[in-house]
Amino acid sequence: MRHTLSKYWHHLVLLPLALLWLSPMLWIGVTSLKTKSEVFDSAAGWLPSVAQWSNYPAALSVAPFGRYLINSVLVTGSIIAAQLITITLAAYAFARLRFPGKNLLFGLFLVQIMFPIYAIFLTNFVTIRELGLMNSLWALIVPFVASGYGTFMLRQAFRQVPAELADAARLDGCGHLSTLWHVYLPLVKPTLVAFAIISVVTHWNDYMWPLLVTNSEEVRTLPIGLGLLAKADSGADWTRLMAATIVVVSPLLLFFVIFQRRFVDSFMHAGIK
Amino acid sequence: MPRFKHEDLRDIPAAALMLLPSLVFLALFTYWPILRSVWFSFHDVMLGSPEIFFLGLENYTRLLADGLFWKSFGNTALYTLLTIPLSIICALLLAVALDTRLRGMAFYRSAFFYPVMIPSVAAGMVWVFLYAPGYGPINGLMAALGLPRLEWLYDRSWAMPAIILMSIWKYAGYFMLILLAALQLVPRDLYEAARLDGVSATRQLLHITIPLISPTLYFVIIIGVLHSYQIFDYVYVMTQGGPADATNVLTFYIYQNAFQFQDIGYASAVANALLLFIIALIAILAATLGRRVHYLGS
């Protein structure tokens, strides 16, 4: 009896809080279906009188969102593909090979976690300019090819793999690369998926760096396109802007809803172990 | 000269090859920029100009006398020191409430976690709308409750709290999820025993839960520090540092000096101050909290 009562109390507190947390998203959805005048009219109530679905095609036609989407996919896809290669190799070296200066080098990898692009964007911007990569998709990819965080996560996972398994493979004449491929990688799939999800969420949503190094439609990504639309509208047409926001946030939210368990597990266990 | 066993040397070629891809990119886009920022800060460097003049400490003396630098430094510290504790307390309470095999767990988890998935630019923009003084729903709600309307992002004393409030909404769910994973590892019988001894829920939280999940709390605080860099996005989208620099923060001040005033040398000096602030903050956290962390079973 006491138990059911305490659970009842839990819901009584949690449900309003959850609705409060959801309210910005609900507000975006509701506004995207209103007419312009309903937005500014406080007497019009919270819901649109007639759902204006035409706000969506209107939002999509003011900017090349198709192009932005392709760019976002290309950039995020390239980053995660390159990262999976670099972190797998480095994590294996740190977890299983013996060489002098290992701890020092590992510490150097961790420096990147402390100083992400937000801390060092200025001199990176100068470098990208000197390399002639300004306003190209490369500029959005190359600073993120190496990942200290990914190397750290994967090294922890590799260390859990029993050394005997690797030794057996080595005795059978497998080199480092084939041991890595046939023994280690299949055993750390959950960690790889967890890192991939975190990395994709981070880079799909990146704003500051792409803002600095892109200046034409051909290379802009979805968040940049949305930011530009907001600037152009500057509060004049919230309905169109909120429709565009729904379009931009829905790919990740959709994946999240479909693969909820996977996402939650990835973020839950990313830091632990 | 340390001596290495034969075995230690045999792996060197393989290790070098495997570390090389990462090290090339780390060198180019992490180490080189940090070193260069130190180098630039002692020089007069203009954006797009090939000429560089040695200035010695001039950029730094200018920095110390620059009121706007100190203001943005103070704002950065205020944002970091308020957002992290507030969102972690919020996250901890949510996690404790959810750690009870509740029905609708998946719903609650998603409701609190989804803001993490939303791009910072979209979040910032939507909150500009929510905070709008005339037609924004937050003011609408406050009026309905009989509270005074606020200018929020247009008010010098409310703009920073408004960004902090939004940040709590954005990140608490992330911290909640990590803390929830740690809570699920706390042995249930500890709570049972405490309950039988008549220990109150608050004391259970303070004396059982928090000590046992302290390594994770420490980890979450560090993650919080690293996430606080992202305030640039919110300031850029929501206020552009205003009103009257009330929300100007170090990352945004670096941006202004570099891209609006083209002064890379001075911007580098500000950037180095930011790096020092982060290093100092993490060192203080490691020396105070890091030592007191209680590791279960080790």
DSSP letters for B229-289: GGHHHHHHHHTTT-STTTT--HHHHHHIIIIIS-BHHHHHHHHHHHHHHHHHHHHHHIIII
Contact with chain B for residue A149, Cβ under 8 A? no
**Could you say which of A201, A257, A268 has the minimum Cβ distance to residue B177?**
A268
Instruction: Using an 8 Å CB-CB cutoff, list chain B residues near A212.
Output: 259
The pLDDT > 70 percentage for chain B reads 96
Nearest-CA distance B109 → chain A (Å): 8
pLDDT interval class at B8 (50, 70, 90): low
Nearest CB among A7, A14, A93 relative to B19 is that of A93
Cα-trace Rg, chain A: 24
Please indicate whether, in this complex, the C-beta atoms of B271 and A119 are within 8 angstroms of each other. yes
Mean pLDDT of B53-69: 91
- Determine contact: A74 vs chain B, CB below 8 A: no
**Count of alpha carbons within 13 angstroms of residue A153, beta-carbon side:** 27
Sorted by where each starts, the structural domains of chain A and their CATH numbers stand as 86-272 (1.10.3720.10)
| Long-range CB pairs of A137-141, under 8 A, 24+ apart, other chains included | A137/A71, A137/A74, A137/A75, A137/A78, A137/A219, A139/A213, A139/A214, A139/A219, A140/A75, A140/A206, A140/A209, A140/A210, A140/A213, A140/A214, A140/A219, A140/A221, A141/A75, A141/A78, A141/A79, A141/A82
Q: Which of residues 90-109 of B touch A (CB under 8 A)?
A: 94, 97-98, 100, 102-104, 106-109
Q: Return the pLDDT at A161.
A: 87
pLDDT score of B74 more than 60: yes
Contact call for A115 and B19, based on CB within 8 A = no
pLDDT value, residue A158: 92
Instruction: Write out the two tokens for B263.
Output: 């002064």
In this prediction, residue B6 carries a pLDDT of 59
CA–CA dist B288, B282 (Å, integer): 10
Query: CB-hemisphere CA count at 13 Å for A147?
Result: 30
Please list the pLDDT of chain A residue by residue as tens digits (273 residues). 455 666 677 888 899 999 999 999 999 999 888 888 787 876 777 788 878 888 888 888 888 999 999 999 999 999 999 999 999 999 999 998 999 999 999 999 999 998 999 999 999 999 999 999 999 999 999 999 999 999 999 998 999 888 888 888 888 888 888 888 988 999 898 889 889 988 999 999 999 999 999 999 899 999 999 998 888 776 668 888 899 999 999 989 998 888 888 877 777 766 554
Backbone φ, ψ for residue B45 (5° rounding): -120, 125
pLDDT averaged over every residue in chain B: 89
Which helix (DSSP H) or strand (DSSP E) does residue B45 occupy? strand B43-45
Q: Which residue of A has its CA nearest to B107?
A: A18
Q: Report how far residue A136's alpha carbon sits from residue B26's, in angstroms, rounded to the nearest whole number.
A: 20
Q: Which residue has the tokens 């640039």?
A: B232
Residue B297 has pLDDT above 60, yes or no: no
pLDDT bin (cut points 50, 70, 90) of residue B55 is confident
A228 touches chain B (CB under 8 A): no
Among left, alpha and beta (phi > 0; psi -120 to 50; other), residue A45 is left
Q: Which whole number is the average pLDDT over B105-112?
A: 90
pTM of the model: 0.91
Cβ <8 Å between B102 and A14: yes
Please give the pLDDT value at position A165. 84
* Residues with Cβ within 8 Å of residue B257, at least 6 apart in sequence: B263, B266, B267, B270
Residue A270 confidence (pLDDT):
65
Instruction: Please name the residues between 175 and 214 in chain A that touch chain B, using a CB distance below 8 Å.
Output: 176, 201, 204-205, 207-208, 211-212
Q: What pLDDT is recorded for position B1? A: 44
Interface of B with A in 143-172 (CB under 8 A): 169
SS3 of chain A: the string is CHHHHHHHHHHHHHHHHHHHHHHHHHHHHHHCCCCHHHHHCHHHCCCCCCCCCCHHHHHHHHCCHHHHHHHHHHHHHHHHHHHHHHHHHHHHHHHHCCCCCHHHHHHHHHHHHHCCHHHHHHHHHHHHHHCCCCCCHHHHHHHHCCCHHHHHHHHHHHHHCCHHHHHHHHHCCCCHHHHHHHHHHHHCHHHHHHHHHHHHHHHHCCCHHHHHHCCCHHHCCHHHHHHHHHHHHCCCCHHHHHHHHHHHHHHHHHHHHHCHHHHHHHHHHCCCC
Residue/partner pairs of A197-202 with CB below 8 Å, 24 or more apart: A197/A262, A197/A263, A197/A266, A197/A267, A198/A266, A198/A267, A198/A270, A199/A79, A199/A80, A199/A83, A199/A147, A199/A150, A200/A76, A200/A80, A201/A252, A201/B116, A201/B117
Cis previous bond, B243, omega within 30: yes
Interface of B with A in 233-252 (CB under 8 A): 233, 236-237, 251
User: Closest-CA residue in chain B for A87?
Assistant: B22
Report whether pLDDT(B240) > 60: yes
Location of structure tokens 């932005």: A68
Element at B44 (helix H, strand E): strand B43-45
Task: Give whole-number Cα distances, B259 to A110, A122, A126, A271, B124, in Å.
Answer: 29, 9, 11, 36, 22
**Residue-wise pLDDT tens digits, B127-151:** 998 998 888 889 888 888 888 888 9
Inter-axis angle of helices A65-96 and B12-26, nearest 10: 150
Query: Coil, strand or helix: which one is B43?
Result: strand
pLDDT at A1: 44
pLDDT greater at residue B112 or residue B102: B112
Of residues A271 and B186, the one with the higher pLDDT is B186
pLDDT, greater one: B234 or B2: B234
